[in-house]
Amino acid sequence: MQYYSTRNHAALFSLQEAAFRGLAPDGGLFMPAVIPHADLEKVRELSECSFSELSRYLTRLFFGDELPETRTDAIAAGACRFPVPLKQVGKDKYTLELFHGPTFAFKDIGAGFMGHALRALNRTAGETIILTATSGDTGSAVANGFYGIEGVKVVILYPDGQVSGLQESQMTTLGGNIFPLKVKGTFDDCQRIVKDIFSDADFRREKRVTSANSINILRWIPQSFYYFHGWAQWVKATGGKRPGIVVPSGNYGNLAAGLLAAKMGLPVRRFIAAANANDTVPKYLRSGRFEPQPSVRTVANAMDVGNPSNFERIVDLFGNDFSAVTARIGGYSCDDQTILETIRELYDRYGYLSDPHSAVGYKAACEFGIEGFWLSTAHGAKFGEVIRTALGKEFPLPSGLHELPGKEKLFTRIGPSTSSVENFIRSL
């Protein structure tokens, strides 16, 4: 399979190039040149067994040209080993819970897949350094996704004093091939250093560094897999045929992956892009104008994105045809007040604990009268403060997260300078 850039369909790149570059040289996002067709009978059958079995089939469809089956199977088995259940909420509502992985958020799926896939691609290429800056959640998903992967070392920069204690624990208690750097500076400093290192050609000749950015093709493609699993479970539970699917969205990788699944043949009636107050895409869906805004802070902070990168993938999948986009996708956005009320409604009416991001999905599903399901992107207990504000009480952390606070944090303190970080990487 080859990959083109959203900004130039003529130049093709190998999987290896697309994976290690992250972003295309012209600044576009990589897209598969051929979208494979999934056999829905097979999908239903494999989905009955497990998400992991289903992922094994879909991984082969995408990567079977480059990698032998033993490798694609190992990637799927390593990355997709937790359940992705469709839960019934009340009498006739359903949500697909994507948060049963190691950090209890859906980014675990893409990050885990990328980790295992890089190892498979890496066998001949030698050691790779994954370099990433984080304001919290991405770092923990990447650390967990790449933990213990041979031939890969992960260097994570995070701002001192600006990530939550739980997030810091998730990044710093693993050890092994994970090297957290606590930077005396802001998240912007961390991002600047990472950018400087990626554009330092001399250093890149010396060390093979790559990013685990969420736009990477190896993180994006596997996100299409759980849509199939959700569909199969929903069909079985309801006897329906074509669900509507609501996607809580920020950078729009998740929704773009759903559209990819639809292109592979998944029957979906309609998608709904569910946003918080950062409503660049819902506005575009109404007006046809894509006007990025500075992001605003909300209680669903993993969706605080004013200029979503994966928007390019969405319009590319529709051949830049606005009417085709609006025929398939509806837009919804709401403010913090509504998110808090919705968390309360879900809890009071159904006894269901929802995190703030997923609550936006539920609200959109209600507003649009969706017959289908919304995606739940994180476990409610991860957002203790918001939940306390909404419900007036605390909920225990899931086991796994529960044990973290007591573990020893291992990190290196470092100043906000590119050369210090480069020297640190040389010393590994």
Ligand X SMILES: *Cc1c(COP(=O)(O)O)cnc(C)c1O
Could you say which of 87, 91, 107, 241 is catalytic? Answer: 107
Query: Which 341-360 residues touch ligand X, going by CB under 6 A?
Result: 357
Task: Give the residue among 241, 288, 236, 290 at the shortest CA–CA distance from 266.
Answer: 241
56 forms part of the interface with ligand X (CB under 6 A): no
Dist CA 247 CA 95 (whole Å) = 10
Dist CA 98 CA 417 (whole Å) = 37
Q: Among residues 253, 330, 331, 416, which is the contact residue for ligand X, using CB under 6 A?
A: 253
Q: Among residues 112, 250, 258, 416, which is the contact residue for ligand X, using CB under 6 A?
A: 250
The tokens of 12 are what? 């093709």
Helix axis angle, 40-49 relative to 225-238, nearest 10°? 80
Triad 312, 214, 79: Cα angle to 5°: 125
Dist CA 134 CA 73 (whole Å) = 30
- CB closer to ligand X out of 137 and 422: 137
Place of tokens 């805004």: 293
Whether 195 is a known active-site residue: answer: no
Determine the interface stretch with ligand X among 144-152, 247-255, 365-373, 399-407 (rule: CB under 6 A): 247-255
Dist CA 115 CA 57 (whole Å) = 19
The amino acid sitting at 108 is: D
User: Residue 124: which region, alpha, beta or left (left: phi > 0; alpha: psi -120 to 50)?
Assistant: alpha
Instruction: Kindly state the smallest distance separating residue 327's Cβ from ligand X, in Å.
Output: 21
- Using DSSP bridges, classify how beta strands 244-248 and 270-275 pair: parallel, antiparallel or unpaired: parallel
Instruction: Kindly state the smallest distance separating residue 248's Cβ from ligand X, in Å.
Output: 5
Instruction: Kindly state the smallest distance separating residue 250's Cβ from ligand X, in Å.
Output: 4
Query: Which 284-343 residues touch ligand X, going by CB under 6 A?
Result: 302-303
363 forms part of the interface with ligand X (CB under 6 A): no
- CB closer to ligand X out of 155 and 378: 378
372 forms part of the interface with ligand X (CB under 6 A): no
- CB closer to ligand X out of 302 and 404: 302
67 forms part of the interface with ligand X (CB under 6 A): no
Query: Which 205-224 residues touch ligand X, going by CB under 6 A?
Result: none
Which residues lie near ligand X (CB under 6 A)?
105, 107, 137, 248-254, 302-303, 357, 377-378
